Structure 1
């Protein structure tokens, strides 16, 4: 028996071979001795390297002979799917060793919960949110006193968001209850592992076991070029030959390999790619977070059983969900971060003698550049830093309440010390702490005394309502105005931040303009919009500074040795790209030769009519930050809104026509580092994004209930400007969406002349600028505009499927509800034969009554007079135009005046009539908010 396995308890050791453990992996060899010795440990290893067993085998060894009642070990994983997998993996061991193992999360039945409370398991697998609930339960709390070890799986995922902050304080609360416990963190490969280790234990001793660099990765970058057969395939797939070739290349890779995971960066791309793939192959399925649990589990099982050969997936499959053996990972388009690529490619090659294999399929020159840089950095293990949240006030508020639920009356200093024991709150000041206490007191969630506080009656509901820090993200249906067809779904964040009236965006592979936004619907029309924003843009992982800088360096390097064969050989060797990709880079960089080649250390500003493009590689978030600050200054200077778009390599501004080059550069020169934050705070406060963030923060802090009416939020927000709620809203925006410190540093370099500014005026954008403009226009997988005839056909069907109620104004004896498609071209009263028929859908009984009174020449009220006039206007038009008038009235927002205008045009054919009617409907949707 090898050395570390030999240290395990004999009962565990004797089961190893039976379970298939013949040789320890590196994580197991390095971790088992440290865990058995009771040390706090952070284990860093890739998925499939045996790091789960690195923790559970020594835990089994430590508790197998302990007969004391109570939970002895907690295993905390971020996903319920991981809980499920872990239970399946541990159950066998539990049966063999007589160790009770259970799972507890949001889906656990009441029966199972009672069972766990009355007869606690030895090991409980749970989620961070469920731990928050368990700490306050009377019986479970007693069972947790015996916890001696806690494992936090996928800790790198939790450390990056507020779920991790909440868990960190939860562990301190558990430590106070149990007297302390051993902490074990399991992490994928990360940059700066010391940060993750500190996050787990704060200032306690810990051993970092890095077993991540024991295996090399085989990662290649390809740029498929369309061939003759892709022209026909593009027609079949309703896409371009370029996209058809990429789909066909993935199909080839699936056929050449036993099992393939194809990762994409967004759900939208996953749907678009899989819909096209399904036309040419039966061997694939799809997996992303918006799909139901049942669908995801079915896909995982089919792949593991080899019923399918490929899953097209998003980050939902990055974590250690068990899907069996993976022979190849395909990354569709740049993974945007090195850590993402390593995590994804690390899903393959799990056998001892296998190398993890990955291929990145790229779509354009920018994509190639980004991908080859990331692939090279992956080979060198150069990963991004994970930065936990620093003392978020919303989580602090929730944990202050939680501690009072744990203990009843709580000393302020005791709660403060427990909270500061966690890494995110290590620098929390007493003034900040008291500020949140006072806020909670003003909300009547706690009662404050001089040195103590205790929860109020309202605290219980608040605590459990906000057990999860993940906001409830509302979904908006995207509905096409003409056809009433549901196109897709948008997240609330995208709608709030970007879905303004008239804005273009891309969804389901097509471009659409926003006509109207209601409570839960975005009304759209299809357009051929060059400036459309992909609806999945908010989902995209930001490209960090280091990658953007290396892309600049690579472009400059290629430009200096453009057609050197020796350079080509060395470059391809360093960056692992195919010939097509290299030749595309040569073409791309070569086409920029008449312009400036942007490089690190220089700011190239390209000015063309109405546009300025700043070429600087600060990465996605910092470029967005600088772009927002400058756009605010430009808008203020020119007295009109200045549009801004950015990516990791450029910022583009659209100006009024009379703006000079001097105006543009003067504003840049005037922006000082110390002004960036105040400018952003002022400009952000007026945005819908700030309101959206405030809503979530205020809900988590107990200021807003989850069902608050939206019209009240702005008024409430105004009264909380100088409170921790406002402060936390800014903190979260600056942490998630902006990088002020990077921009401040860059501006100081500009002011100190460390960075040279090059300004060039041109008539047309350079190829490097064109990349940004085109990227925000088309996006990937965007199809051509549907034929207008198809839209009008669906529009007609929608109208004719409606039912209307007709009333005979001549005899007054007949009224009926009729489906328009079943109506005669010249409608008549079946009783008297008259054609003077009114539509009385609204206020039907009142209208009928008013019409009958008028026919009898009885006195009618002013309201009844109005109903009669409206009805007779419809009857007048039906008398003249017949069924065509009924169709017109059935369009959304079309009244008698608009219907008369459309009908009076006397269109030469039905298509022209429907076109005019659809335009009238769009006009109503655009303008109804002003007069409806």
Structure 2
């Protein structure tokens, strides 16, 4: 360990006590660079000692500089997650206790007493989050402690770089320079496709060094094929767990994690870990795995970052990971010992899943990881930081603002954008201008308190199950605005649901028996499949060189047989060079291998042009390999083909810009960004803003420009959609009209990541039976008009009788209908009141004829005497009767808002 010869003896003693027999490759290469005070981006797999690679030399320099004694923060350690803060704090406490340093953690959950303590006596090493760094600048005494900072470590920097959180943090680091002078920047990252760009994101215009230890040379990944039935998939995972070593099972959605957990937890030795679970439950699962109490942990992206869970020997990826970087990060968690191989297995089902998994595996082993693109010129993040500087200094010159922003690589052209953004902020009274000076206002501090984070605040929409009459979960606002509509099918809590109504901030649903016949509008919390991956899947369909991707003969035989079966059924194989259009009863399927975001842009343009020409609404649903356009019957595949041929590649963005203004997605995103600019209050509801107020927001150039920038960078890939249209124009991509095929249908009938519960129909019927049995009803006598009793359906006799006159002319009312009985008994009645009496008598005659069965039907939501008569006229009993009731309730929910009052 030659590096130790230049380290302080106290650090060397800690290394020995820690039990380091030898430094890992990453430590051998990184420690000298940090000791040389170089700005360093360190790229290496999780678990290879990245944290110690940074902190051992930092501790060494802190000792040399005589740090300590409560003079201020010497080192900031910034992580994107509070859970990582907890883990890093535990590890740093060990080192600091031996080296004589103090360490603290500060984030949103830090107690007031601990905050006061840090203000009075700052720790030498502060572990924190990007958002808490923003809060430190706002504290008059606290920000004085920033003057001692010499080192900033940015952990999991790849997770921040491509986001607005990262843009905000990049500028925040430049704001630190006037306090501390130039400090050393050390970024710790997973494998990325563009290390130089990520390094520039961290350092701005400063020189940097990159140390990269590729994970790909230590990867061993196989793809296994299983049946499309969930039971087959569970069986294969169970086999791996039973026969294998400590294993992480990564899934793509929380719902899949829950469904797998439900099937595997009964075996014992398994737990579940995802972001919807409480912090205590997640910590318990981490500790149980680390201590060897369980042999497998089912997890989502919550476990991708470097949380310490001990030794992992094997990673299972359930279904395609969708991205190369995701697969590398996940499999890279296995086998972290010097010279050890990280072993991973993808369990794929179905042709799309298999082909995608093979392509992503090849790209991972070849080191072809996706690029992380920093959020350049994010207007709202820059506005947020200009307002923060005004609050921090009270007043500041525009030259100083521009100078600070120019140090960050995020602000590519600060001089040109700063004046416009300052004008926007002044318009909203966040600050005021006095010549070349920018001065804070009373509103600015409140604005910053509500906007410390660039993560948008999202409402939660409750999911209300019309069958059980209870709330079964909630959905994020982004999901509701972007993907949901009446009739859409989605998954929550491991079950499929169909949307019946979206009103008053509530999503009313019914259980969907299966995904058959439905194109899911959203595939869970999925990462979109990138353009490059989808194009290579198309190329693999064309070349059929499956043996170049795997030696597993079961896999190759299946893939080849699938494509032959498509052709034998007169289907045409869509590839990277062929786009097929298939006419189906619902509309037209465009088979295009271009990834989610490109298909989103391409499909929206086509739908806009169809709507304009035929004056009709076009439904659009898509995945990475196909676009379904739900069309009226007069619009056929030939018409769609003609429209695509007529596209001008240069007009795509302009078409989208005009059309997007009319969408809920644009309105929602516009309001989100306006909040970050301070144009509207943080708690404003986008659904309730007047058209006039929205028009005002649209007239603000900086807000509108940022809305489009985010939509076209996050949701739609206009660049690659233009590339596809150019390919069609130039003839390198052919469009063909084809018959409905297995490939096109697999999008319509696909349910990747959607796991319907077994015997869903029986579960629904059992629920509605239980609910109606306990439903409260009011029985009233329409003969003597003097008897009324409140009870539940379960307690009603087979043939109800009046307790006063023994007559059987008994009406069954819902609790909210009780007042109608009083109205019916009035001596003089108007026309409307006579109609109420007529309905109650009809109600009573139905109960007279059908007894308790009629009471049961009348207790259902939205079922009155007329509907009850129709249901009872079907002469159904048992489960069939409950299906008729459910059908009536569903129809009421769908149509009641259109009724005349």
Which TM-score band applies after superposition, normalised by the shorter structure? Answer: over 0.9
Which residue of 763, 769, 774 corresponds with 2:744?
769
Cα separation, 1, equivalents of 2:817 and 2:723: 68
- Checking the alignment, whether the CA contact within 8 Å between 2:270 and 2:296 is kept in structure 1 is yes
Cα separation, 2, equivalents of 1:734 and 1:834: 71
Q: Alpha carbons of 1:861 and 1:665: their partners in 2 closer, same or farther (altered >3 Å)?
A: closer
Q: Which residue of 2 aligns with 1:276?
A: 263
Structure 1 residue 525 displacement after superposition? 4.4
Q: Which residue of 1 aligns with 2:799?
A: 826
Which residue of 915, 928, 931 corresponds with 2:883?
915
Cα separation, 2, equivalents of 1:712 and 1:485: 26
- Checking the alignment, whether the CA contact within 8 Å between 1:222 and 1:577 is kept in structure 2 is no
| Greater displacement, 314-323 / 10-19 | 10-19
Give the SS at the match of 2:722.
helix
Give the SS at the match of 1:476.
strand
Structure 1 residue 116 displacement after superposition? 0.7
Which residue of 422, 429, 440 corresponds with 1:455?
440
Q: Alpha carbons of 1:251 and 1:607: their partners in 2 closer, same or farther (altered >3 Å)?
A: closer
Q: Alpha carbons of 1:792 and 1:415: their partners in 2 closer, same or farther (altered >3 Å)?
A: same
Structure 1 residue 528 displacement after superposition? 4.6
Cα separation, 2, equivalents of 1:412 and 1:348: 50
Q: Which residue of 2 aligns with 1:167?
A: 169
Structure 1 residue 440 displacement after superposition? 2.2
Q: How many residues align?
A: 891
Q: Which residue of 1 aligns with 2:660?
A: 684
Give the SS at the match of 1:18.
helix
Which residue of 237, 247, 251 corresponds with 1:250?
237
Query: Is 2:189 the partner of 1:187?
Result: yes
Cα separation, 1, equivalents of 2:223 and 2:798: 63
Cα separation, 2, equivalents of 1:842 and 1:44: 65
Q: Which residue of 2 aligns with 1:544?
A: 530
Equivalent positions of 1:567-578 (< 5 A) are 572=547, 574-578=548-552
Deviations 1:249-283 (A, max 9, x none): 2222222332001111121222222222234x212
Structure 1 residue 463 displacement after superposition? 0.9
Structure 1 residue 397 displacement after superposition? 2.3
Cα separation, 1, equivalents of 2:522 and 2:635: 33
Query: Is 2:721 the partner of 1:743?
Result: yes
Q: Which residue of 1 aligns with 2:107?
A: 105
- Checking the alignment, whether the CA contact within 8 Å between 1:46 and 1:343 is kept in structure 2 is yes
Which residue of 149, 152, 155 corresponds with 2:151?
149
Cα separation, 1, equivalents of 2:660 and 2:61: 54
Deviations 1:773-792 (A, max 9, x none): 332xx334534773655533
Equivalent positions of 1:100-139 (< 5 A) are 100-139=102-141
Query: Is 2:415 the partner of 1:433?
Result: no
Deviations 1:588-641 (A, max 9, x none): 2333455544444x3333444565444443332112211211121123223333
Structure 1 residue 730 displacement after superposition? 1.7
Cα separation, 1, equivalents of 2:515 and 2:733: 36
Q: Which residue of 2 aligns with 1:894?
A: 863
Give the SS at the match of 1:74.
strand
Give the SS at the match of 1:537.
coil
Cα separation, 2, equivalents of 1:876 and 1:771: 51
Q: Structure 2 regions of 5+ residues with no counterpart?
A: none
Deviations 1:855-909 (A, max 9, x none): xx4x678997787666666555545544444333321122344345444x26253
TM-score (norm 2): 0.93
Cα separation, 2, equivalents of 1:807 and 1:596: 67
Structure 1 residue 515 displacement after superposition? 1.4
Q: Alpha carbons of 1:645 and 1:805: their partners in 2 closer, same or farther (altered >3 Å)?
A: closer
Structure 1 residue 551 displacement after superposition? 2.2
Query: Is 2:679 the partner of 1:703?
Result: yes
Structure 1 residue 164 displacement after superposition? 0.6
| Greater displacement, 8-17 / 149-158 | 8-17
Cα separation, 1, equivalents of 2:764 and 2:540: 47
Cα separation, 1, equivalents of 2:732 and 2:478: 36
Structure 1 residue 456 displacement after superposition? 2.1
Cα separation, 1, equivalents of 2:844 and 2:633: 51
Q: Which residue of 2 aligns with 1:562?
A: none
- Checking the alignment, whether the CA contact within 8 Å between 2:255 and 2:493 is kept in structure 1 is yes
Q: Alpha carbons of 1:719 and 1:682: their partners in 2 closer, same or farther (altered >3 Å)?
A: same
Deviations 1:753-796 (A, max 9, x none): 2514242443x32x433433332xx3345347736555334323
Deviations 1:206-256 (A, max 9, x none): 11111225842111111136xxxxxxxxxxxxxx6x433332222222223
- Checking the alignment, whether the CA contact within 8 Å between 1:805 and 1:839 is kept in structure 2 is yes
Structure 1 residue 108 displacement after superposition? 0.7
- Checking the alignment, whether the CA contact within 8 Å between 2:255 and 2:491 is kept in structure 1 is no
Give the SS at the match of 1:423.
coil
Query: Is 2:639 the partner of 1:663?
Result: yes
- Checking the alignment, whether the CA contact within 8 Å between 2:216 and 2:364 is kept in structure 1 is no
Query: Is 2:352 the partner of 1:343?
Result: no
Structure 1 residue 500 displacement after superposition? 1.6
| Greater displacement, 9-18 / 656-665 | 656-665
TM-score (norm 1): 0.90
- What is the RMSD computed on CA atoms of the aligned residues? 2.8
Structure 1 residue 120 displacement after superposition? 0.4
Cα separation, 2, equivalents of 1:246 and 1:598: 28
Cα separation, 2, equivalents of 1:697 and 1:255: 50
Q: Which residue of 2 aligns with 1:140?
A: 142
Q: Alpha carbons of 1:9 and 1:677: their partners in 2 closer, same or farther (altered >3 Å)?
A: same
- Checking the alignment, whether the CA contact within 8 Å between 1:512 and 1:529 is kept in structure 2 is no
Q: Which residue of 2 aligns with 1:446?
A: 431
Deviations 1:132-179 (A, max 9, x none): 111110111111111111110000000011111111111111222222
Q: Which residue of 2 aligns with 1:759?
A: 736
Equivalent positions of 1:356-367 (< 5 A) are 356-367=342-353
Structure 1 residue 538 displacement after superposition? 5.0
Which residue of 633, 637, 642 corresponds with 2:609?
633
Q: Which residue of 2 aligns with 1:370?
A: 356
Q: Alpha carbons of 1:590 and 1:820: their partners in 2 closer, same or farther (altered >3 Å)?
A: closer
Give the SS at the match of 1:468.
coil
- Checking the alignment, whether the CA contact within 8 Å between 2:490 and 2:522 is kept in structure 1 is no
Cα separation, 2, equivalents of 1:787 and 1:107: 41
Give the SS at the match of 1:75.
strand
Cα separation, 1, equivalents of 2:92 and 2:354: 43
Q: Which residue of 2 aligns with 1:236?
A: none
Query: Is 2:253 the partner of 1:266?
Result: yes
Equivalent positions of 1:211-610 (< 5 A) are 211-212=213-214, 215-224=217-226, 242-279=229-266, 281-430=267-416, 432-484=417-469, 488-507=473-492, 511-518=496-503, 519-534=505-520, 537-558=523-544, 572=547, 574-593=548-567, 595-600=571-576, 602-608=577-583
- Checking the alignment, whether the CA contact within 8 Å between 1:4 and 1:28 is kept in structure 2 is no
Q: Alpha carbons of 1:473 and 1:710: their partners in 2 closer, same or farther (altered >3 Å)?
A: closer
| Greater displacement, 120-129 / 390-399 | 390-399
Q: Alpha carbons of 1:878 and 1:710: their partners in 2 closer, same or farther (altered >3 Å)?
A: farther
Q: Structure 1 regions of 5+ residues with no counterpart?
A: 226-239, 560-570
- Checking the alignment, whether the CA contact within 8 Å between 1:329 and 1:359 is kept in structure 2 is yes
Cα separation, 1, equivalents of 2:314 and 2:26: 23
- Checking the alignment, whether the CA contact within 8 Å between 1:219 and 1:576 is kept in structure 2 is no
Cα separation, 2, equivalents of 1:555 and 1:908: 51
Q: Which residue of 2 aligns with 1:16?
A: 15
Structure 1 residue 848 displacement after superposition? 6.7
| Greater displacement, 23-32 / 116-125 | 23-32
